[in-house]
Amino acid sequence: MQMIASSPLVMECRVDDVYETEGFESFICKIDHTYAEENIVIYVL
């Protein structure tokens, strides 16, 4: 997965569907992969 080097959080998504309306498009996506630097992750016990 290619990532932006300065981004602490990256989510790689796949477009499942597109809803088109007048002058507007909505993309329905599924998250395939997520990368987060450890310093931004909140651990819940």
Helices and strands in the chain: count of H runs, count of E runs? 0, 2
Q: What is the pLDDT of residue 2?
A: 65
Nearest to 2 by CA among 27, 29, 25, 33: 33
Look up residue 27 and give its two tokens.
């993309």
Task: Please state, in angstroms and rounded to a whole number, the distance separating the CA atoms of residues 19 and 42.
Answer: 34
Task: Please state, in angstroms and rounded to a whole number, the distance separating the CA atoms of residues 12 and 2.
Answer: 9
Per-residue pLDDT reduced to its tens digit, 1-45: 566 778 888 899 999 999 999 999 999 999 999 999 888 888 887
Q: What is the pLDDT of residue 1?
A: 59
Look up residue 39 and give its two tokens.
């310093």
Q: What is the pLDDT of residue 25?
A: 95
pTM (two decimals) = 0.58
